């Protein structure tokens, strides 16, 4: 009890009421007041007397200040959390907001990109195929061109033979073995060139094991001038091995690749200049 009295007498309660006190002391006073009713009562007395003191020294503020102060509170805090009295009428006033339009721009853009990529890939494959086709065509055309060039050069060769006065033409007539056969040989002793005309050739078609072989008889001796096939598809002139001197020309049927010496039994045609 003495302690409480001393505590009251210390003047700390007055300082508490005047707010001139540290936060720790403040907590202590509040704790003491809640424990001891005497301190609480003393505190209340001090508060009342200070309140009366203030009332006694009251100064009426200017009349215009009332509106200013109230308005500043009402306008500054005039949202619906400031006053609860009017909130009832707003409670059923909640309107569902339309769902926010989420922008699908990036989804669409991504889809567009994928589509574009797909179209591009397809176009690329298609173009690649066409390029391949074109290349094949170009290769075909080139081989055609080559073939035509060859044909032209061959024809030029033929034409040369036909136009060249030095060439002599000799029709080799069929032997009794093949009386219908006929081979035309063109020979230029000056140029040592021998051609045979495949177009006008009349010979039985040879099999795959055999080939015709052209011979020149020079002073009774057979000289090989090369082999050829009778084929309906071959219609041009064929240049054979060269020879400067010849008495006779003859064609025998020999095993494929030719023989060193003619098989006389198989002589098909023979002719003499």
Partner 1 sequence: MSKKRKISLSEDELVLALRNHEKVAIEALYDMYSSSLYGVISRVITDTATAEDVLQETFVKIWHSFSSYSTEKGRLFTWMVNIARNLAIDKLRSKDFKNQNKNQELENNVAFIDEQRNTTYKPELLGIKELVETLKPEQKSILELVYFKGYTHVEAADELGIPLGTIKTRLRMAIQQLRKYFN
**What are the distances in angstroms from CA 231 to CA 95, 169, 203, 205, 236?**
100, 21, 9, 6, 11
Which of 3, 19, 90, 232 contacts partner 1 by CB under 8 A?
19
Question: What phi, psi does 249 have (nearest 5°)?
Answer: -120, 140
Q: Identify whether the C-beta of residue 212 lies closer than 8 Å to the C-beta of residue 206.
A: yes
Which of 25, 51, 160, 236 contacts partner 1 by CB under 8 A?
51
Q: Which residues make Cβ contacts (< 8 Å) with residue 193, sequence separation at least 6? A: 161, 167, 187, 239, 242
Q: Identify whether the C-beta of residue 144 lies closer than 8 Å to the C-beta of residue 152.
A: no
Q: Is 243 helix (H, G, I), strand (E, B) or coil?
A: coil
Which of 5, 25, 31, 83 contacts partner 1 by CB under 8 A?
83
18 or 140: whose CB is closer to partner 1? 18
Q: Does 77 bind partner 1 (CB under 8 A)?
A: yes
Q: How far is the CB of 16 from partner 1 (least distance, A)?
A: 8
Nearest to 42 by CA among 74, 75, 9: 9
Q: How far is the CB of 40 from partner 1 (least distance, A)?
A: 10
Q: Is 207 helix (H, G, I), strand (E, B) or coil?
A: coil
Question: What phi, psi does 56 have (nearest 5°)?
Answer: -65, -30
Q: Does 37 bind partner 1 (CB under 8 A)?
A: no
**Torsion sign, CA atoms 176, 177, 183, 189:** negative
76 or 163: whose CB is closer to partner 1? 76
How far apart CA 123 and CA 128 sit, in angstroms, is: 8
Q: How far is the CB of 1 from partner 1 (least distance, A)?
A: 19
Q: Does 49 bind partner 1 (CB under 8 A)?
A: yes
| Bridge partners, residue 162, by sequence | none
Q: Which helix (H) or strand (E) holds 201?
A: strand 193-202
Looking at 9-17, 101-109, 156-164, 191-199, which segment touches partner 1 (CB under 8 A)?
Answer: 9-17
53 or 148: whose CB is closer to partner 1? 53
Q: Does 57 bind partner 1 (CB under 8 A)?
A: yes
Looking at 74-82, 118-126, 167-175, 194-202, which segment touches partner 1 (CB under 8 A)?
Answer: 74-82
Which of 25, 31, 34, 236 contacts partner 1 by CB under 8 A?
34
Which of 1, 3, 11, 24 contacts partner 1 by CB under 8 A?
11
Q: What's the distance, Cα to Cα, between the start and end of the chain in Å?
A: 170
55 or 209: whose CB is closer to partner 1? 55
Q: Does 264 bind partner 1 (CB under 8 A)?
A: no
Residues in the chain: 273
| Bridge partners, residue 168, by sequence | 187
For partner 1, the binding residues (CB under 8 A) are: 9-12, 14-15, 17-20, 30, 34, 43-63, 65-66, 68-70, 72-74, 76-77, 81-85
């Amino acid at each position: 009890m003495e302690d409480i009295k001393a505590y009251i007498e210390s003047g700390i309660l007055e300082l508490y009421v005047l707010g001139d006190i540290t936060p720790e002391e403040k907590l202590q006073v509040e704790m003491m007041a809640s424990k001891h009713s005497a301190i609480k009562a003393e505190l209340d007395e001090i508060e009342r007397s200070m309140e009366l003191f203030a009332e006694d020294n009251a100064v009426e503020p200017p009349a215009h200040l009332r509106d200013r102060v109230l308005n500043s509170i009402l306008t500054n805090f005039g949202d619906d959390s400031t006053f609860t009295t009017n909130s009832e009428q707003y409670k059923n006033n909640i309107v569902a907001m339309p769902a926010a339009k989420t922008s699908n721009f990036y989804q669409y853009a991504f889809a567009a990109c994928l589509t574009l990529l797909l179209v591009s890939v397809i176009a690329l494959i298609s173009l690649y195929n066409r390029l391949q086709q074109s290349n094949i065509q170009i290769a075909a055309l080139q081989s055609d061109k080559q073939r035509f060039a060859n044909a032209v050069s061959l024809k030029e060769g033929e034409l040369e033979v036909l136009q060249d006065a030095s060439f002599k033409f000799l029709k080799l007539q069929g032997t009794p073995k093949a009386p219908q056969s006929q081979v035309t040989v063109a020979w230029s002793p000056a140029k040592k060139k021998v051609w045979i005309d495949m177009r006008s050739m009349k010979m039985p078609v040879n099999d795959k094991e055999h080939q015709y072989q052209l011979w020149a008889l020079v002073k009774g001796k057979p000289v090989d001038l090369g082999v050829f096939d009778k084929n309906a598809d071959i219609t041009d002139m064929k240049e054979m091995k060269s020879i400067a001197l010849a008495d006779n020309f003859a064609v025998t049927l020999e095993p494929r690749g030719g023989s060193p010496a003619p098989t006389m039994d198989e002589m098909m045609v023979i002719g003499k200049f």
